[in-house]
Amino acid sequence: MDNRNSFLTFITACIPGVGYMYHGLIKKGVQVLFLYMLIGPILSFIGLGFLSHLIKICIWFYTFFDTFAVSNKIKRGEYVPDSEFIFKNYVNTENSYSVTPTWNGRINRQGWVILGSFLIILGILSILNQVFIDSDIYKYIRSYASQYFIPIIFIVIGIFTLFKKRD
């Protein structure tokens, strides 16, 4: 049983990845922190910097609440493995003899499909951004999308949560 300070858990959860590191999940924490810090510069480099805030907000919310879930598991005495943050479900681990999944250098088929799809969508968005950058209609759509996209996502998630079938 771990007796970590709840206030320090809250403070460290406010910085993506640091909350994981506070609870001893160093590999996961470092991966989240690097991912969070690199999203802005990478998306700005390819002309999609306006998407970085949306992605960062999603990562922040996920890691903030997941840090508390991890903290509660540790307080209950459950084992919480220091697993990969991004690829933990898309890595082949059938040749591993350990109890916890480890990176063996191979991504399964589903992981490659997701990575390929993500890169194609990112490339298309980058090209569209460069082609229509001087268009007034594009600027109009982009300004409204940045103002209303996050509230619409919250509404959709709320509706999904309300009408989701419970087990």
Give residues with Cβ within 8 angstroms of 54, minimum separation 6: 149, 150
Q: Which amino acid is at 161?
A: T
The pLDDT of residue 98 is 46
- Tell me the pLDDT tens digit for each residue of 92-130: 545 444 444 444 556 667 767 777 888 888 888 778 777
Sign of the dihedral defined by the CA atoms of residues 13, 17, 22, 24, in that order: positive
Exposed e or buried b for every residue in 14-27, given b needs 16+ CB within 10 A? ebbbbbbbbbebee
- Tell me the pLDDT tens digit for each residue of 12-46: 999 999 999 999 898 889 989 999 999 988 888 77
Tokens at 124, concatenated: 């298309």
- What is the domain partition of the chain in residue ranges? 6-131
**Which residues on adjacent β-strands are paired with residue 107?**
91
- Tell me the pLDDT tens digit for each residue of 76-96: 888 888 777 765 655 554 544
Show the CA angle centred on residue 76, arms to residues 70 and 79, nearest 5°: 60
Rg (CA), the chain: 19
